[in-house]
């Protein structure tokens, strides 16, 4: 049995922690995508599969290869065409499909592509399933050929998807907000337009300013990845120039959205998680909210204040979604801008969060900037600081050794979190990149947070 190692377009080095992603012609190709699709059927089973694609130049050919492999295995391909990852999630659950495949490389450079895979109910693949698909692909195991495979356009399901999204707000009760939206020339534009049309029809007094709106595989305004600080100024400036109440920017497949206040300030993810947790607890008192371990003080405080239960999940969508399902949580969020909703098949969405925030602002009468300033002063946070280190394990061990003796609480759900009377930090190795990630937060003390960040940085890099 031959195992294929990374190194060429015919030798898949594209399997990551939870999905498939690689550079076209280097470690990913349409041929590899077809083999993965055949493996998907071999592992998950034969049944209808929802298929979508982002706007990258390579996506149509890869989607065709995936569809061909699925049809050869007797599968009914439910083709959404150009869409977002969350639309594949929705179609998989809504149509009762056996699985879903999204062709996307999300926020990666234009010469990358990949696949996101889910099973029935839009549930993530288990680690064993994902490992089996990888082994099947790398060993070139042949899929069984079956008759009956078809490919059918189901773009009309977008209307049902929009219905579902509308269920998270009451359009007629929204305030007359002006919102700037920036899809970054990714896939979000057409789907946003469908939502905006429905909002107007239902009486929402919202006004939108659109920039970089048309899907363009050349990404003329840069790769849509607002998590990178260098990609934020364009949205920030546009919000201020338009006089908008707040701004929204999406990544390439729009399963994440990022918020900017009317001053053009980026709203860090930990504060968005807290806002959304509060919004859902106002609707459903006593509910459970899931959060990741990296930055927790603000979220825990708001969840407690609004009478909910906070539950921690390891970083990563597969872990968060499983804890969501196990706990029955109404909402879950990660600081990386992945937001999960019980009534959206426990999946992440980049369209639901900004609508819920608009509803929260409409109800409270507050400005996003005021809410952000208040919460940042209560719980200052460093933001995620990344380190590329020669000996990551050794460096992390030095930090834990220096601080653990004085900690009030130690948690190892994901990396190491040490909590003290007035501050806390989380230190972890990335699931997807060769980096060590650090987050430091305090209770109302900016200087303490900065001091501890400097101390830990010195140990890591010393």
**Which are the contacts of 276, defined by CB distance < 8 A and separation ≥ 6?**
331, 333, 339, 353, 356, 357
With beta carbons less than 8 A apart as the criterion, state whether 118 and 52 touch.
Answer: no
Tokens (6 digits) for 9: 């377009």
The domains of the chain, with CATH numbers, are 20-157 (3.40.120.10), 175-266 (3.40.120.10), 385-461 (3.30.310.50)
Q: How confident is the model over 85-108, as pLDDT tens digits?
A: 999 999 999 999 999 999 999 999
The pTM for the full model equals 0.95
Q: How far apart are CA 136 and CA 139, in angstroms?
A: 5
Closest CA to 90 of 100, 98, 82, 81: 100
The CA angle 257-27-183, to the nearest 5 degrees, is 20
Cα–Cα separations (whole angstroms), residue 222 to 225, 230, 234, 251, 462:
8, 10, 10, 11, 35
- Looking at the DSSP bridge assignments, the partners of residue 310 are 289
**Which of the following is catalytic: 29, 58, 106, 382?**
106
The parts of the chain modelled with pLDDT lower than 70 are 1-12, 432
pLDDT of residue 269: 96
pLDDT of residue 144: 85
Q: How confident is the model over 352-365, as pLDDT tens digits?
A: 999 999 999 999 99
**Which are the contacts of 377, defined by CB distance < 8 A and separation ≥ 6?**
444, 446
With beta carbons less than 8 A apart as the criterion, state whether 257 and 337 touch.
Answer: yes
Residue 7's SS3 state is coil
pLDDT of residue 6: 37
Q: How far apart are CA 174 and CA 359, in angstroms?
A: 6
Q: How confident is the model over 45-97, as pLDDT tens digits?
A: 999 999 999 999 999 999 999 999 999 999 999 999 999 999 999 999 999 99
Cα–Cα separations (whole angstroms), residue 128 to 18, 43, 70, 132, 133:
11, 10, 21, 6, 9
With beta carbons less than 8 A apart as the criterion, state whether 292 and 269 touch.
Answer: no
Quickly list DSSP for 298-310. Answer: HHHHHHHHTT-EE
Closest CA to 410 of 293, 269, 290, 273: 293
106 is catalytic: yes
pLDDT of residue 432: 65
Other C-beta atoms lying within 10 Å of the C-beta of residue 406: 9
Cα dihedral 337, 301, 283, 314 in deg (nearest 10): 40
């Amino acid at each position: 049995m031959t195992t294929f190692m990374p190194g060429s377009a015919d030798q898949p080095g594209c399997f990551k922690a939870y999905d498939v992603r690689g550079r076209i012609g280097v470690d990913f190709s349409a041929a590899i995508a077809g083999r993965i699709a055949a493996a998907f059927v071999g592992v998950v089973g034969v049944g209808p599969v929802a298929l979508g694609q982002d706007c990258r130049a390579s996506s149509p050919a890869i989607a065709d290869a995936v569809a061909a492999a699925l049809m050869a295995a007797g599968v009914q391909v439910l083709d959404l065409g150009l869409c977002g990852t969350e639309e594949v999630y929705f179609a998989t659950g809504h149509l009762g499909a056996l699985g879903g495949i999204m062709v996307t490389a999300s926020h990666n450079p234009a010469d990358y592509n990949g696949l996101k895979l889910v099973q029935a109910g839009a549930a993530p693949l288990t680690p064993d399933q994902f490992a089996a698909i990888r082994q099947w692909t790398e060993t070139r195991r042949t899929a069984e050929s079956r008759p009956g495979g078809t490919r059918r356009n189901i773009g009309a399901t977008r209307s049902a998807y929009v219905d579902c999204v509308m269920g998270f707000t009451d359009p007629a009760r929204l305030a007359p907000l002006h919102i700037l939206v920036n899809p970054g020339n990714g896939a979000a534009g057409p789907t946003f337009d469908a939502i905006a049309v429905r909002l107007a029809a239902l009486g929402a007094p919202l006004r939108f300013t659109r920039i970089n709106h048309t899907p363009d595989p050349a990404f003329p305004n840069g790769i849509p990845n607002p998590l990178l600080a260098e990609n934020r100024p364009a949205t920030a400036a546009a919000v201020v120039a338009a006089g908008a109440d707040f701004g929204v920017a999406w990544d390439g497949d729009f399963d994440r959205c990022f918020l900017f206040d009317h001053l053009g300030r980026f709203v860090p993810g930990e504060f968005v998680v807290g806002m959304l947790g509060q919004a859902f607890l106002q609707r459903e008192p006593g509910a459970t909210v899931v959060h990741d371990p990296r930055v927790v003080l603000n979220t825990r405080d708001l969840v407690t204040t609004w009478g909910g239960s906070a539950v921690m999940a390891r970083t990563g969508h597969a872990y968060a979604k499983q804890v969501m399902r196990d706990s029955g949580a109404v909402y879950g969020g990660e600081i990386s801008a992945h937001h999960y909703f019980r009534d959206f098949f426990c999946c992440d969405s980049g369209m639901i969060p900004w609508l819920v925030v608009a509803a929260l602002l409409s109800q409270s009468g507050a400005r996003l900037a005021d809410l952000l300033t208040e919460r940042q002063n209560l719980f200052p946070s460093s933001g995620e600081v990344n380190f590329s280190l020669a000996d990551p394990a050794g460096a992390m061990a030095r930090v834990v050794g220096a601080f653990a003796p004085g900690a009030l609480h130690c948690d190892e759900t994901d990396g190491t979190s040490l909590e003290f009377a007035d501050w806390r930090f989380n230190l972890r190795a990335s699931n997807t990149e060769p980096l060590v990630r650090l987050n430091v937060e305090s209770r109302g003390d900016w200087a303490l947070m900065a001091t501890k960040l400097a101390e830990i940085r010195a140990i890591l890099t010393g």
